[in-house]
Amino acid sequence: MPGYHPQDIEKKWQAHWKDQQTFRADNASDKPKYYVLDMFPYPSGAGLHVGHPLGYIASDIVSRYKRLRGFNVLHPMGFDSFGLPAEQYAIQTGQHPALTTEQNIDTYIRQLNSLGFSYDWSREVRTSDPAYYKWTQWIFLKLFNSWYNLDTNKAEPLKTLLEKFEQNGSEGIRAAGDDEERHSFTAGQWKLFSEKQRLQAVHPYRLAYQQDTYVNWCPGLGTVLSNDEVKDGLSERGGFPVERRLMPQWNLRITAYADRLLQGLDTLDWPDAVKEMQRNWIGKSIGAEVTFQVQDHEQAQIKVYTTRVDTIYGATFLVLAPEHELVKELTTPGQQVEIQDYIDATKRRSERDRMADTKTVSGAFTGSYALNPFSNEPIQIWIADYVLAGYGTGAVMAVPSGDQRDYVFAKHFNLPITQVVDAQQIDEQADPTKDGLYLHGLIKGQNYKQATQTLIGELEQRGIGKGKTNFRIRDAIFGRQRYWGEPIPIYYKEGTAYGVAEADLPLVLPEIDEYKPTETGEPPLGRAKDWKYKGLYEYELSTMPGWAGSSWYYLRYMDPQNTGRFVGEEAEQYWQQVDLYMGGAEHATGHLLYSRFWHLFLKDLGVVSAPEPFQKLINQGMILGRSNFVYRMNINWLIGRVDGTSMAFDNNKEKVAFPTLFVSKSLFDVLSNSLEEERPSAVIKLEEKLAELEQKLSAKHPAYKVEVHTYFLGMPDSFTPLHVDVNMVENDILDIEAFKNWREEYATAEFVLEENGTYIVGVEVEKMSKSKYNVVNPDTLIERYGADALRLYEMFLGPLEQFKPWNTNGMSGVAGFLKKLWRLYHPQDGTFAVTDEAATPQELKALHKAIKKVEEDIEKFSFNTTVSALMITVNELTALDCHKRAILEPLVLLLSPYAPHLAEELWQQLGHPAGSISHAQYPEFREEYLVEDTVNYPVAINGKVRETLQFPATATAQDIEAAVRASDFLPRFAEGKEPKKFIVVPGRMVNVVV
C-alpha cells in the first residue's frame, strides 16, 4: 500500500472495532480491573470542537495502555441528556426536546468514533432514557424514605425512626437537620396522631424534604436556576433578569454528610486545589450560637452564629440578610421605604454576586435595636446583602474592631467601633488578633482560650446560646420548574407528599403541548392532561435538576442492562469505584460533591461497597482558541450632488452602496497609532486605495460626488477589530474569497493588502467559543490530517493540566511525524519491507530508551513528553535506516495508545490477527541495552575545560588519572606545574587542580 493515507486506515479500523466489539469489558475476569471514566458530556447542538476531546484522548491513552499492561479495562461513554438548553430550543421551535437531544447525541457519537476512542458502547447510558431515570427516581425515593441518625452516624430507613416514635416519642432522638423545624411529642401522642399528622411530624427528618427556600427565580425562563446558571444577575442562557425568591422547593439534606465529605477528601488522589475548594465549600467552623433580644419586641429574638464569641463585647450592631423573616417586623414606619428599596435591589443580585462583591458598601437601617446579651447595650439592626439568608442563621453580629468588612461598614455608616483586646491596633483597619488580654465584663483580664470557655459556659447557663459546630454548605435545592428533566416521583393527597410506589417506576414524562410554564405560573408539567397518580392524585410538577442523573451514572455503567437493580451486586463489587476520572475543574463543588454525597448515602444503604466514587481525579486544562481578527476602517464618506449642491456628511447614503474597507495587520499597526507630521508609506498606500474607491463609486453613481477624508486617521476609533472565522485563515493569511462569501455585508468588501498581496489577520489567544469564531471543528482536521494526528497533536501541545493555545498550523508537523514513522515500515512509501535481521546495539538502545520513557510518562500522565520521545525515537531509527521487526514491532505497541489506527494497521501488516493489538503485551524494558560501552569525559584544569577524553565505561578513577597524567595537553595547560589534586566524577567529568 504505497503512501500513508490515514483516512482510509482509520475508517477501516473504526468499522472493525465496532463490528467486533473490541473494547467490550467483562464484569468478571482473572485480570486486575481498571475503570477509566470521562465526565458525562452534555450533547449540545454545536457538537465537539477541538477543545472538547483533550480529556477524552488522555483517558483513552490510559485505557489502551492499561490493556497492554494486562488489565481488564472498563472505559464507557454516555450522555447527560436532560437539561435546559434542549428545553429552550423546544420552546423556540416547538420540537420535542427528545428529538433534538437524539440528533445531538448522534452527532457526538459520530465525532467520538471518528477519533478512535476505545469505548465499550454496549454500556452507553442516557439520563433521559426512562430505563435509566427509573433508578434516579428510585434513589430519590430512598432519600425521601430515610433519615440521618447522628447516634449511628449514617442514614437509616424511616422504619427505625418510627420505631423510636412508637417507644419514646420524639424525646432523645438525635437526627441531622434543624431541630426547631420539628415538633415535640410523646409516644402516647404519636399513637393518637392521624396519618396526616404523622407524615407532617416525619417530614422534617427526611433526607429529601420540601421547604420554603430562597432560590434564583428567572421569570423569563419560568424556572429556578443554580448559581452556576446566573451571571451578573442575569440568566446565562437568554440573559433574562434573575431575582431571589422564597419558594417551596425540594431539598436534599447533604448537610448531614458534611463531616464525612470532609474526612473522605484525605483518602482521595485528587488535585489539591479541588480538595481545597470542597473544604472551603463545606466550610466547617467551630463556634457558638448566640441569641440577641430585640429591644421593645418581647417575642422577637435574633440568633447569630459566630466563630469569635470572645469578641461579643465588641458587637456594636447586627446585620440581617434582606430576606430574614424578622425584617418586616423590625422595620419602623420611617424606614419602610428605604428598606423596601434595598430589598428590591437585592432580589436582582445572585448569591454568587453578593458573596464576590467585597468592595461595595451598602445597607439599610431597620430602625430597631437589639440588646448585646453581655453588655446590655442597645445596638442598631441593619440589613445588608453581604449576609445571606441560607447561610447560618441569616444574621451576623458585627464586630468592626475585629472584622474588616464590619470595620468598613461601620466607618461608612458612622457606627461605633469598640476595642476588645488590649493588643488590638484599630486606628486604620480591623485587627482580628487573639493575642493580649480582654478588656470588658466577665472576661476582663482573660486570654483568648479562657474568654471563649467563660462566654460559652455563661451562654449555656443562661439559656441564650451554646457552643456549636457549623458548616457553610447548605442543603441542595433539588427541584426545577422545567419540563426536560426527571419527574420527581411524588404525589399529593390532601396536600401531603407521598412517594410513588417503587413498583410504579419509572414515572415517565407526559406529553404536553408547550414546554413553557402555564398561564397561571405553574411549571410546564402543569400542562399535562389527566396526569395523576392512579388517576386520583396530583403529581409533583417540578422535575429534578441536571445533576441528578449525573450523580450516579458511573455505577450504572457497571451493569447497564440490569432491570432488577440500579447495579448488580456482583458487578458493583468487581468494579467498586472509578480508578481514573478525567474532567474539568469547574465541577469541583457541584457534580463531584453531589456524587460523593449520593455515594455515601448508597453506602449507608448497603448497596455499594467502595468508600468513595472516584479514587483518582485529573483536571485537564482548557485548549484556548487562537482568534483571528480583520480590521475594519471606520470611513467618513462625504457625498453630494454633482450639480453643485453643498457636500454633506452621510447624505443620501442609501443611493450609494459603500464598500466595507479592511486593512491588513501591519498597516493597522501603523495606522492605528498617532501619526507624525511625515506620513508613513502605509498612509500613502491607504490614501491611494481610498482614491481608487472614490473613482469607482463616482463612476458607478455619476449623479453623486463621493469623497472620503482621512484626517481622522490615528484616532482611537479609526479602526474596529472584528473576529473572523479561523477556518478561513491559514498561516495568518486570510482567504479573501471565503471571507467575502461568509456574510452578505462583506460581499463587496475592499482590502488594503501587504506588499506581497496577502491580507494578514490579527491574532489573540482566548477562550474557544462560537461567538469568537475561533472554534475549530475536529471533523475538518480529521478529514485533512487524520484522527491519529489530531490525537497526537492535542497531547503534544503541553502538560495535560495546563491551559494551551490552539494553532492548527502545528498539525502539519505531527502529520509529518506519522508519515516518517510509516516509512520505517514502507521505505520510500513503497511496499511493506520489514526484515527479520538482528538488531544492532544502537537500534536496541533507541528502542529501550523509548520503552522506558513511554511507560514512565504514561504512568505519571505526562503525555506531551511521550509524544516527544516517540518523535526522537523515530528520528533516531530513520537515521539508522532501521527496518527490522525486532525493533519496529515493539515500537508499534508503544505507539498504539496514541495513534491506534496506524498501530492496528502496522500490527496486522507485521503478521498478527486483525484487531489483536489491544490484547498484546506491553514491551519489556531491558536495562542492559542502555549501558554505554564508552564514556566521554570533559577534562578541566582549574575548573576550565581543556580537552575531552573517551574511556571504557568500566574504567576506574585510577585508570582515568593515569591517562590524563600521560596526556600531552596537561603539561601545556598546567604551565609546567605539578597537579595537586585529581577529582574524577564517575561517568561525568575530570577536574585537575594545579
Cα 154 from Cα 603, distance rounded (Å): 9
pTM of the model: 0.83
Tell me the three state secondary structure of residue 532: strand
DSSP count for the chain of H helices, then E strands: 31, 38
Q: Report DSSP state, residue 912.
A: P
By the 10 Å C-beta count (0-12 exposed, 13-18 middle, 19+ buried), 494 is classed as: exposed
Residue found by looking up cell 418586616 in the block: 328
In order of 81, 121, 802, 818, the CA distances from 871 in angstroms are 40, 32, 22, 9
The number of beta carbons lying within 10 Å of the beta carbon of residue 162 is 16
Query: Which residue stretches of the chain have pLDDT < 70?
Result: 1, 636-657, 674-680, 682, 703-717
Nearest to 85 by CA among 74, 72, 95: 95
Instruction: Give the SS3 label for residue 495.
Output: coil
Predicted confidence (pLDDT) per residue in 724-764, tens digit: 999 899 989 999 999 999 988 899 898 989 989 999 999 99
> Is there a contact between 556 and 135 (Cβ–Cβ < 8 Å)?
yes
The answer to whether domain 934-993 has CATH 3.10.20.740 is no
Domain at 284-471: CATH code: 3.90.740.10
Identify the H or E element spanning 780: helix 778-785
The predicted pLDDT at position 78 comes to 97
* Secondary structure E strands in 75-207: 146-149, 154-157
For the chain, the structural domain boundaries read 31-128+549-620, 284-471, 487-542, 635-772, 791-919, 934-993
**Burial, 707: exposed, middle or buried (Cβ in 10 Å; 0-12, 13-18, 19+)?**
middle
The CATH superfamily of 31-128+549-620 is HUPs (3.40.50.620)
Q: How many CB atoms within 10 Å of residue 124?
A: 16
> Which stretches does DSSP call E strand in 192-242?
208-218, 223-225, 230-231, 234-235
Per-residue DSSP letter, 421: B
Answer whether 552's CB lies under 8 Å from 8's CB: no
**96-114 residues labelled b (16+ CB within 10 A) or e (exposed):** bbeebbeebbebbbebbbb
Distance CA 329, CA 779 (A): 63
Cβ contact 64:896 at 8 Å:
yes
Tell me what pLDDT residue 195 has: 95
Report the C-alpha gap between 382 and 399 in whole angstroms. Answer: 13
Q: Which sign, positive or negative, has the C-alpha torsion 756, 759, 763, 768?
A: negative
Measured CA to CA, the distance from residue 463 to residue 186 in angstroms comes to 24
What CA–CA distance (Å, rounded) separates 991 from 940? 5
DSSP string for residues in 159-180: HHHHHHHHHHTTTT--BSS-GG
Q: How many CB atoms lie within 10 A of CB 237?
A: 17
Which segments of 797-939 does DSSP mark as H helices, in order? Answer: 811-825, 841-859, 863-879, 885-895, 900-909
* Segment 67-108, tens digit of pLDDT: 999 999 999 999 999 988 888 888 888 889 999 999 999 999
Concatenated DSSP letters of 22-49: TTPPPSS-SSPEEEEEE------TT---
Q: Is 852 annotated as a binding residue?
A: no
Torsion from C-alpha of 104, 108, 110, 115, nearest 10 degrees: 160
Q: CATH fold of 791-919, please?
A: Isoleucyl-tRNA Synthetase; Domain 1 (1.10.730)
| DSSP result, 826-856 | SGGG-S---B-PPPPHHHHHHHHHHHHHHHH
C-alpha cell at 471: 458548616
The answer to whether 21 and 564 are in contact (CB under 8 A) is no
Contacts by residues 458-466 (CB-CB < 8 Å, ≥ 24 positions apart)? 458/374, 459/288, 459/290, 459/309, 459/373, 462/373, 464/290, 464/291, 464/373, 465/288, 465/289, 465/290, 465/291, 465/309, 465/373, 466/288, 466/289
Tell the residue number behind the cell numbers 519496529, with chain if given. Answer: 888
The H or E element containing residue 757 is none
Q: Do domains 31-128+549-620 and 284-471 have the same CATH topology?
A: no
Whole-number Å distance between alpha carbons of 320 and 591 = 31
The CA dihedral of 696, 697, 702, 706, to the nearest 10 degrees, is -120
CA–CA separation, 437 vs 421, rounded Å?
A: 6
DSSP E strands: which ranges in 435-545?
465-471, 476-477, 490-493, 496-499, 532-533, 537-539
Q: Residues 482-498: pLDDT tens digits?
A: 999 999 999 999 999 99
User: In b/e form, how buried is each residue of 280-318, taking b as 16+ CB within 10 angstroms?
Assistant: ebbbeeebbbbbbbbeeeeebebebbbebbbbbbbbbbb
